[in-house]
Structure 1
Amino acid sequence: MDDTLREEQKLTARAVLAREGRGFAEEIGLGRTNNPASLFGLLVAAVVVAPRGEAREAARAAHEVANRWHTATDLAAASERDVAGELGAAVEGVDRGDGDDSASGAAATLVGLATALVETWGGDLRALREKAGQDPDRERALLTDLPGVDDAVADVFLREVQVLWDEVAPFADDRALRAAAALGLGESAEDLARYGAQPEKIGRLAGALARIDVEGSHDEVRHAAAS
């Protein structure tokens, strides 16, 4: 950690990581490996959870889909009905919309995304990264060209993938930065990098802060830091 950080900030950051330190991807059983299946799993998870506030039920549903259909090619060949069955009540139970966020709507989105990913990038997001020249802005632009991927989805994906794609780091989405500001840890991704400059550490801290924002567990973190 940066030596200029206050002791209170260091203790708070440690409390954040102690509470949520596994990170979003690991919590729902997704590997973090720079291969087509792992990257596709992260993108599937981002598409499912981003519009639903990263609710745990939606995250588990995303894992079920990625666990059954490991690659974009697999999911592109799946029936929307089967995919909706895997998403099931977990997505319905945290529905944030008027029907478009239902399991059937989410299934159609995922199958369409998988199909486009196969057709455009051979099912391999590493090809997208190469085409972008490892430029984070270009990576975001190419991601949001895919159906079902808006800026909110790209935020979740980039937050998680910075552990693997180090050009993305430091990156923190709005949820992570809200929690960071509330806890006195800073207001930017660059501020978070002061707690550990390696992409893995930044990714873990940003993911942990995003989950704290979702859960509203700021007071629990403050209590743990003060103990």
Structure 2
Amino acid sequence: MDDTLREEQKLTARAVLAREGRGFAEEIGLGRTDNPASLFGLLVAAVVVAPRGETSGAARAAHELTNRWHTATDLAAADEQDVAKELGAAVEGVDRGDGDDSASGSAATLVALATALADDWGGDLRALREHAGHDPARERELLTALPGVDDGAVDVFLREVQVLWDEVAPFADTRALRAAAALGLGESAPDLARYGDRPEKIGRLAGALARIDVEGSHDEVRRAIAG
């Protein structure tokens, strides 16, 4: 950690990591490897959790999908009803509205995403990265051109993939920065980099903060610091 940090900030960062220390990819059983299947899994997971927050239900839904359909080609060939069935139990109670309708809509979106990724990029997000010239702004533009991928989903994806795509780091999404500001840890991704300059550490801290924002568990972190 940066030696200029206040002791309270260091304690807060340690408490955040102790509470929510695993990265989201680890939590749902995805290895962060720069290969087509791993990158596809991260993007699918990001699309599933972004509108819901990284709750246990959203994480379970992401796990079920990425555990069964490993590549864009696999998911593009899947029956939408089969995808909806796999997704339904996990999504129900997380989305607002009717669970079956929500699962069906999400399934259609995910199959469309997989089809577009397979058709446009050969199912390999590394090709998209190369086409973007390793420029994060262009990567975001190309990612949001895919069905179902909005800026929120790209935020989650980039937060996790910064371990592999060094041009992205340091990166933190809006939820992470909101929690960081509330807990006195800073207001930007470079601020979070002061707590550990490796992309893996930044990603873990940002992911933990994002979950704290979703849960509203800021006071629990403060109590942990107070002892």
TM-score by length of 1: 0.97
Q: What residue in structure 2 maps to residue 174 of structure 1?
A: 174
* Distance across 1 between alignment mates of 2:180 and 2:77: 41
Is the counterpart of residue 132 in structure 1 residue 132 in structure 2? yes
State whether residues 100 and 106 of structure 1, in contact with CA within 8 Å, keep that contact through their aligned partners in structure 2: no
Shift of 1:149: 0.4
Q: What residue in structure 1 maps to residue 38 of structure 2?
A: 38
Decide whether aligned partners of structure 1 residues 4 and 101 sit closer, same or farther in structure 2, where only a CA change above 3 A counts.
farther
Shift of 1:28: 1.4
Is the counterpart of residue 113 in structure 1 residue 89 in structure 2? no
TM-score by length of 2: 0.97
Shift of 1:54: 2.2
RMSD: 1.4
Q: Deviations over 1:165-201 (max 9, x none)?
A: 1110111111000100010000111100111111111
Instruction: Give unmatched runs, 5+ long, in structure 1.
Output: none
Query: For 1:10-25, what aligned pairs fall within 5 Å after superposition?
Result: 10-25=10-25
* Distance across 1 between alignment mates of 2:97 and 2:114: 23
Displaced runs of 4+ in structure 1, greater than 4 A? 97-101
The one-letter code sitting in structure 2 at the alignment partner of 1:209 is L
Decide whether aligned partners of structure 1 residues 120 and 100 sit closer, same or farther in structure 2, where only a CA change above 3 A counts.
farther
The one-letter code sitting in structure 2 at the alignment partner of 1:137 is A
* Distance across 1 between alignment mates of 2:48 and 2:187: 27
* Distance across 2 between alignment mates of 1:15 and 1:77: 44
Q: Deviations over 1:35-80 (max 9, x none)?
A: 1111111111111111112221021111111110100000000000
Q: Deviations over 1:134-169 (max 9, x none)?
A: 111011001001010011111111111111111101
Q: Deviations over 1:83-126 (max 9, x none)?
A: 00110121122113678970000000000000000000000001
Partner of 1:52: helix, strand, or coil?
A: coil
Instruction: Give unmatched runs, 5+ long, in structure 2.
Output: none
Q: What residue in structure 2 maps to residue 186 of structure 1?
A: 186
Q: What residue in structure 1 maps to residue 78 of structure 2?
A: 78
* Distance across 2 between alignment mates of 1:146 and 1:101: 22
State whether residues 73 and 118 of structure 2, in contact with CA within 8 Å, keep that contact through their aligned partners in structure 1: yes
Deviates most, 112-121 or 101-110: 101-110
Is the counterpart of residue 210 in structure 1 residue 210 in structure 2? yes
Q: What residue in structure 2 maps to residue 57 of structure 1?
A: 57
